[in-house]
Structure formats: C-alpha cells, structure tokens
C-alpha cells in the first residue's frame, strides 16, 4: 500500500520528544501505523478495521 496520500495523525497525549506512533486510515478502511520519529522512511504496519478494533479494545482494557 502506498502511504504518500494518507493523512497521518498522532495522539494529543504524545510527548514533544517524538516517541510516539502515527496512525492513518485509508479510503478502503485499512489502518496504517508508523513510528513518528522516522516519518516517511518508517516501516508501516497495516491492519484491517477488525484487527485494529480488537487491538485497541485490548489496549484499553489492560491495566498498567
């Protein structure tokens, strides 16, 4: 998947040091995730909508 035309965003909770992830949703609904420090050169992980929903549900339900 080409990531050139994706609108990347990161959490407002992210620190200024750049240690965070950026996420983008494609027109087809795929969720792409990359390392904000590397920007355009970062490897990208792609998730289906269902995979992303499962992942975020588990993260939210996990206590620190």
pLDDT bucket at 63, cuts 50 / 70 / 90: confident
Give mean pLDDT, residues 8-16: 81
Containing 24, the helix (H) or strand (E) segment is strand 21-25
Q: What is the pLDDT of residues 18-51, one digit of tens each?
A: 678 899 999 889 999 999 888 889 999 999 999 9
pTM exceeds 0.85 for this model? no
Write down the pLDDT at residue 32: 95
Write down the pLDDT at residue 4: 66
Q: What is the DSSP annotation of 42-61?
A: S--EEE-HHHHHHHHHHHHH
Q: Using CA atoms, how far apart are residues 32 and 42, in angstroms rounded to an integer?
A: 11
Residues 6+ apart with CB under 8 A from 35: 21, 22, 42, 43
Q: Using CA atoms, how far apart are residues 41 and 35, in angstroms rounded to an integer?
A: 9
């Amino acid at each position: 998947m080409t990531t050139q035309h994706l609108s990347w965003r990161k959490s407002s909770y992210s620190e200024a040091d750049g240690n965070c992830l950026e996420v983008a949703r494609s027109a087809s609904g795929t969720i792409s995730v990359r390392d904000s420090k590397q920007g355009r050169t970062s490897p990208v992980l792609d998730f289906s909508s269902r995979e992303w929903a499962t992942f975020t549900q588990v993260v939210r339900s996990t206590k620190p």
